[in-house]
Amino acid sequence: MIRAIAVDIDGTLTDSKRVLCPASVEAIRQLKLPVVLVTGNTHCFTRTTSVLLGTPRIFISENDGVVSHSEDDIEILADPVVCQEAYQELSKAFSLEVYDSTKYRFTDLALKRNFDVAGANRYIEAHNLPVELIDTIFAVHIKSKKVA
């Protein structure tokens, strides 16, 4: 028995320019199951999207780093300092640009996609950094390896 459905936001409910597809909104509103939003985007973006779609405040954001169980119960699964330290280390070898959404993030860092991601992954491996890079097509996220 299916008890809920999980749906990505960027590139699924939206197009490549992040414009919300009205047909996706209508489809979600017609579902008889709870919809759990799952995204790499920030907690506040995901919560706002949940409000606008009329879904319960149960969602996963920041590439699994933040879990919202309800309006008043969120779980933060990583320390952003780990990602900030990795960013400082990676900046020694790569020209990285952080998106301004970082001030709204609890667990990871979002970078512009204008650097050698494969090279940065090799650097992370060689220096045994406790992070991984997640390329969402919209951004490259530095995420703690502690977050599954």
Indicate which residues carry an active-site annotation: 8
Long-range CB pairs of 99-103 (<8 Å, 24+ gap) are 99/139, 101/41, 101/42, 101/45
Distance CA 64, CA 96 (A): 23
Closest by alpha carbon to 44, among 101, 4, 108, 111?
101
